[in-house]
Structure 1
Amino acid sequence: MTLIRIERILSKLLLLKEKGYLMEAVVLQEEVWLDIQDVMKLLRISHSTFYRKLKECNWKEKEIAGRKYYLKSSIL
Structure 2
Amino acid sequence: VEDKQFYHCFGCGRSGDVFKFIEEYQGVTFMEAVQILGQRVGIEVEKPLYSEQKPASPHQALYDMHEDAAKFYHAILMTTTMG
Query: Is TM > 0.5 for Structure 1 vs Structure 2?
Result: no
Q: TM-score, normalised by structure 2?
A: 0.26
Q: TM-score, normalised by structure 1?
A: 0.29
User: Higher strand share goes to which structure?
Assistant: 1
